[in-house]
Structure 1
Amino acid sequence: MRGIAVERRKLIGVGVGVGVGVGAGLAVLPAWWALHQVANVAKGDWHTDTAPLEQAFPLLGPLTDAKWVSSRDNDRDLPSPELVISGLARLKPGKLAELTAAHAFVSEGPADDFSSWFEKPLKGEGPQNPQWIRSQELDRDGSGHSTHLWFDRRSGTVRFRALNPYG
């Protein structure tokens, strides 16, 4: 009988130890979750697939690489009802020359450096010392669509921000 009592105390002790461990784990959970959320918006947390961009911006032709984010990427309590995509993509060689020959461009750069909450992973990304140009002809506006494209003459990079780019 005495052996059973000792075993029972061990089990109760283990149960208390597990309970304390679980309680401590639950106390650490909010801290872990907060760190996880910060990591989710850290640099490098962007999309690199070019197919959705080529679908949204067919005039840009095949793209060689991209870094982009969406207003629906973060798991916020109230997701954005409208889709906004923003980022950078590289045009294939010669494409910018083709575009500038066919459309009127002016020297104009973006007003900010990816300042929206969902754009934070892209802050500071992009070409060094860009020479941005923009064509009003290539930007779409109306019926819920709004696209802004800025092109860097030096690197063949296009910076974009588009509201409801797929219609």
Structure 2
Amino acid sequence: MERRKLIGIGIGAGLAVLPAWWALRQVANGAQGDWHTDTAPLQRAFPLLGPLTDAKWVSSRDNDRGIPSPELVISGFARLTRGKLAELTAAHAFVPEGPADDFPSWFEKPLKGEGPENPQWIRSPELDRDGNGHSTKMWFDRRSDTVRFRALNPYG
């Protein structure tokens, strides 16, 4: 009987430690608020934006929940190089328009509260792609040279 009690106590203690172990592992693996900061994948997805200086973005395939999906969605913020937004606004028509929602998908939750402070969003329908399985929306903040984006199948 003593042996069974000890085994039960050991299993219970192990299950109690598991959530703490998982949280520590996330921190140790550099969860960084659960977003990516590398700009290279964004520059491949959005070559028109040119080199990017900073980024915070997430992917629908991050922390995969075991639900297979052929679709990839990336969403986040990136900072344009100085003068790039002026170049884009000179070449394309823009309208004052902000995003309709505040990151509604489960994978976008880490981005809530991030981004520029008091943005003045503008958008160019010319720069959004739609068709052939691509769907991209981009909003630009003039004051911070930041672009907010959400793209479905950005690499084709």
Question: Which residue number corresponds to residue 4 of structure 1?
Answer: none
Contact 1:43–1:121, Cα closer than 8 Å, also in 2: no
Question: Which residue number corresponds to residue 79 of structure 2?
Answer: 90
Aligned residue pair count: 150
* SS class of match (1:101): helix
Bigger radius of gyration, 1 or 2? 1
Question: Which residue number corresponds to residue 114 of structure 1?
Answer: 103
Of 20, 33, 44, 2:33 maps to 44
Q: What is the one-letter code of the residue matched to 2:7?
A: G
- State how far apart, in whole Å, the 2-side matches of 1:43 and 1:66 are: 12
Shift of 1:124: 1.0
Q: Say whether 1:160 aligns with 2:145.
A: no
- State how far apart, in whole Å, the 2-side matches of 1:43 and 1:118 are: 14
Q: Say whether 1:27 aligns with 2:12.
A: no
- State how far apart, in whole Å, the 2-side matches of 1:80 and 1:69 are: 16
Question: Which residue number corresponds to residue 9 of structure 1?
Answer: none
Q: Which has the higher helix share?
A: 1
Question: Which residue number corresponds to residue 67 of structure 2?
Answer: 78
Shift of 1:43: 7.3
Q: What is the one-letter code of the residue matched to 1:155?
A: S
TM-score, length-normalised on structure 1? Answer: 0.81
Shift of 1:24: 1.5
Question: Over residues 27-75 of structure 1, what are the superposed CA-to-partner deviations in whole Å (9 max), with x where a residue is unaligned?
Answer: 3266x17x74xx79x8711000000000000000000000000000022
Contact 1:68–1:87, Cα closer than 8 Å, also in 2: yes
Contact 1:71–1:80, Cα closer than 8 Å, also in 2: no
Shift of 1:25: 2.9
Q: What is the one-letter code of the residue matched to 2:80?
A: L
Q: What is the one-letter code of the residue matched to 1:93?
A: R
- Point out where structure 1 has 5 or more consecutive residues left out of the alignment: 1-12
Shift of 1:151: 0.2
Q: Say whether 1:57 aligns with 2:46.
A: yes
- Point out where structure 2 has 5 or more consecutive residues left out of the alignment: none
Contact 1:82–1:163, Cα closer than 8 Å, also in 2: yes
